[in-house]
Amino acid sequence: MNDVLIIGSGLGGLACGTLLAGRGLKVLVLESSNQPGGCMQSFRRGGLHYDTGLHYVGGLAPGQTMHKAFSQLGLMDLPWQRMDEQFDRVIIGGRHFAFSQGYDAFAEGLAKDFPHQREALFGFVHRLQHITAADMEVSAYDYLRQTFSDELLLNVVSAAAMKTELRRESLPLFNFAHTCSSFIESSWRLKGDGNLLVNKLIGSIQQAGGKVLTGSKVVRLTEKDGRIVSAVCADGQTYEAEYFISDIHPATLCRMLEDCPSVRKAFRRRMAAAENTCGMFTAQLSIKPDALPYFAHNVFVYDKPNVWTMTEENEPVKGVMISARMPENDSDSLRQIDLLTPMPWHECEAWADTKVGHRGDDYQSFCRNKAQQCIALAEQYIPQLGELIEQCYTSSPLTYRDYLGSPEGSAFGMRKDCRVPMLSFHSVSTPLPNLLLTGQSIILPGIEGVTMTAFETCSKIA
């Protein structure tokens, strides 16, 4: 009998496990795949480790947004390295701009390019520091249009928010602000791969007497007297607990609740019908030795001076995020670069019914062409990048779906919509008093959003 059973070992699940095990509760984490960590995990190709979703973290300096949370999770002991003062660079229509760390420095830096918008920039960073739940109902795009009279500046300050879904008609200011804010406070990279973070959390759970079991796919939850009493796995194993936490997509969870009479069909329909955010295409590059100096900043390159998706029907704007992996041997030269670009599900849906490793030449050709488009954009910042590449590994929303269990390969979980906040933002509680939710689909995506949601989830357990 466990005190808490957690389904899924992404950052949300492992953070909950660490917090609750640290309170003396007996914790069991069940992970369906053979590798824990979800989007935080890394994989090895050609002697190098590549990260899935960990590129940088904001607000880790003392007194800032994430420092206290990461300290409580034991993650501040990891080898975090502060990024350049100009931590994000933006190229739009061939023009270069820079984001500086610190709210005042951020505003002053952009005011040099947009002196007529200086007052608006300081108003913008002030608003970022005073976001409330009421901003779930405010359109991020409408707010920016009201704040900045310069259309180019509107797009510049939005450019690095590629880390969420920049959908003009629906993105809440609440999400946009949290996506930007902590990185402006301060920005950090991990010297090492994402498994350092994953293994640190797992180690904390195990040291407190808990367990993390991989290859344990939960297929059904069993209810008795209005409470979940057990989780049944595909291999037939059954595990009991007092509390259950789901760190998987809520629509996937609902399929496990079909035999639970206390969960009304309306709840399941709501979760199943919720729209998902777009996915991401990633080209992960190994670079020839000593061919390119390391740079401790990210670059966002757009082919046109508009970074927002205009309507629900239109394609995402063509843009790419360039993120350099920090060398682990103290070399001045980098060996790895990730190129990321938003990608809707329909672009790869033609291969949705095929299995991993059996998608054929058409899919491989599709990925190569997509990678070349990303490389061409990246060459606006790194000339002749294509000539410096040793290997290129690609992933699409299909990869996210197949390896991380993300419906439609969604990169940011369920879509939040400022027009219907009551339907798109979710409570960590469910109709069952001992079944709780966590993860990026609930309140906020990203490392900050998932971490803070985990604290909220754990607060519901006495």
Separation CA 351–CA 361 (nearest Å): 11
- Give the per-residue pLDDT at 280: 95
Angle between helices 140-147 and 173-185 (to 10 degrees): 70
Give the domain CATH number at 163: 3.90.660
Backbone φ and ψ for 285, nearest 5 degrees, come out as: -110, 135
Q: Is the pLDDT of residue 25 over 80?
A: yes
Q: Is the pLDDT of residue 37 over 60?
A: yes
Q: Is the pLDDT of residue 29 over 90?
A: yes
pLDDT band of residue 381 (cuts 50, 70, 90) is very high
| Under 8 Å between Cβ of 335 and 325 | yes
Question: Mean pLDDT of all residues in the chain?
Answer: 94
Asked whether residue 288 falls in the same domain as residue 180, the answer is: yes
Q: Is the pLDDT of residue 140 over 70?
A: yes
Over range 217-238, report the average pLDDT: 96
For residue 2, the surrounding DSSP H or E stretch is strand 2-7
- Give the per-residue pLDDT at 169: 92
- Give the per-residue pLDDT at 314: 53
For residue 163, the surrounding DSSP H or E stretch is none
Instruction: Return the amino acid letter for 363.
Output: Y
Separation CA 395–CA 43 (nearest Å): 12
Query: Reduced to 3 states, what is the DSSP secondary structure of residue 206?
Result: helix
DSSP string, 213-249: ESS--EEEEEEETTEEEEEEETTS-EEEEEEEEE-S-
- Per-residue pLDDT tens over the stretch 73-101: 999 999 999 999 999 999 998 999 999 99
This prediction has a pTM of: 0.95
- Give the per-residue pLDDT at 92: 95
Which residue range(s) make up the domain with 221?
2-54+194-275+421-458
Query: Reduced to 3 states, what is the DSSP secondary structure of residue 320?
Result: strand
Instruction: Return the amino acid letter for 40.
Output: M
Asked whether residue 107 falls in the same domain as residue 180, the answer is: yes
- Give the per-residue pLDDT at 357: 82
| Under 8 Å between Cβ of 184 and 2 | no
Backbone φ and ψ for 241, nearest 5 degrees, come out as: -160, 165
| Under 8 Å between Cβ of 175 and 444 | yes
- Give the per-residue pLDDT at 355: 87
| Under 8 Å between Cβ of 6 and 201 | no
Asked whether residue 126 falls in the same domain as residue 268, the answer is: no
| Structural domain includes residue 416 | no
Residues 6+ apart with CB under 8 A from 344: 278, 279, 315, 316, 397
- Per-residue pLDDT tens over the stretch 310-347: 555 556 668 999 999 999 888 999 999 999 999 999 99
Give the count of domains, the chain: 2
- Per-residue pLDDT tens over the stretch 350-366: 999 998 888 999 999 99
- Per-residue pLDDT tens over the stretch 385-428: 999 999 999 999 999 999 888 899 999 999 999 999 988 999 99
| Structural domain includes residue 265 | yes
Separation CA 425–CA 419 (nearest Å): 11
| Structural domain includes residue 64 | no
For residue 154, the surrounding DSSP H or E stretch is helix 151-159
What is the separation of C-alpha 337 from the centre of its chain, rounded to a whole number of angstroms?
Answer: 18
Asked whether residue 204 falls in the same domain as residue 295, the answer is: no
Asked whether residue 203 falls in the same domain as residue 257, the answer is: yes
Q: What percent of the chain has pLDDT over 70?
A: 98
pLDDT band of residue 272 (cuts 50, 70, 90) is confident
For residue 88, the surrounding DSSP H or E stretch is strand 86-92
| Structural domain includes residue 413 | no
- Give the per-residue pLDDT at 47: 86
